């Protein structure tokens, strides 16, 4: 009598990963799917397939598609804010700060995976939680730049925030316009051009010694 055959191994099964590593794997898979399909068209099945895991494994980490999207959005909004804060704190040279702030947006938008689309082009922007996360990240970037502008020029907080908002808007719009054309204009040249434009305006304000 032949011994019973072992049960077939599920081809979707992946090696066991530490919880943090598994969460990161799922976020990266979700990013690919959300960027390619948008929130509304994406399905948890698509994300599980992309990650090479079963849906129960996916649901162990995220109770639903919306929670997964919000976690991913929070991660990338924080990344952009950290990039800008680092640019502001990394030097005392204000032109270098402007260059760093502009460069932070270009690097974020040019990053592999096009995560910037989740932040700036989401089809879920009317969701109050999504809007709150994006606004909080934008506010952090604007405030980091405004603090330097206020300290350097003596402008009151509202006017410094206005100028900082203009710089972040210029940087974001320019970087998004540049991305499909980066084969024509290099990243460094594009950042230098936008920095020169912004610096000519900001440097015109009297400096407080």
Task: Tell me if 153 sits within 8 A of 176, measured CB to CB.
Answer: no
pLDDT tens, position by position, for the chain (209 residues)? 444 443 333 344 445 777 778 889 999 999 999 999 999 999 999 999 999 999 999 999 999 999 999 999 999 999 999 999 999 988 888 889 999 999 999 999 999 889 999 999 988 888 999 999 999 999 999 999 999 888 888 889 999 999 999 999 999 999 999 999 999 999 999 999 999 999 887 766 666 65
How far apart (Å, rounded) are the C-alpha atoms in residues 84 and 139? 11
Task: Tell me if 30 sits within 8 A of 118, measured CB to CB.
Answer: no
CATH 1.10.357.10 maps onto the chain at: 73-202
Cβ burial of 84 (10 Å; 0-12, 13-18, 19+) is buried
Residue 11 has which token pair?
């081809």
Helices and strands per DSSP (H, E), number in the chain: 9, 0
CATH 1.10.10.60 maps onto the chain at: 16-63
Q: Just give the CATH number of 73-202.
A: 1.10.357.10
Write down the pLDDT at residue 204. Answer: 65
> What interhelical angle do 65-89 and 128-153 show, nearest 10?
10
Residue 96 has which token pair?
């270098």
Top CATH class, 16-63: mainly alpha
């Amino acid at each position: 009598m032949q011994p019973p055959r072992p049960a077939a191994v599920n081809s979707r099964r992946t090696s066991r990963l530490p919880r943090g590593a598994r969460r990161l794997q799922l976020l990266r898979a979700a990013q690919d799917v959300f960027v390619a399909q948008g929130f509304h068209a994406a399905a948890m099945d698509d994300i599980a397939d992309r990650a090479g895991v079963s849906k129960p494994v996916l649901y162990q980490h995220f109770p639903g598609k919306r929670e997964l999207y919000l976690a991913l959005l929070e991660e990338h909004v924080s990344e952009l804010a950290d990039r800008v804060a680092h640019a502001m704190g990394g030097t005392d040279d204000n032109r270098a700060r402007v260059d760093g702030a502009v460069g932070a947006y270009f690097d974020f938008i040019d990053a592999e995976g096009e995560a910037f689309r989740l932040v700036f082009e989401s089809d879920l922007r009317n969701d109050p939680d999504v809007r709150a996360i994006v606004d909080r990240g934008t506010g952090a970037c604007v405030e980091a730049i405004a603090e330097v502008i206020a300290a350097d020029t003596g402008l009151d907080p509202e006017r410094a925030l206005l100028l900082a908002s203009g710089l972040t808007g210029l940087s974001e719009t320019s970087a998004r316009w540049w991305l499909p054309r980066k084969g024509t204009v290099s990243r460094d040249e594009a950042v230098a051009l936008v920095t020169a434009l912004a610096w000519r305006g900001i440097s015109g304000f009297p400096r407080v010694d």
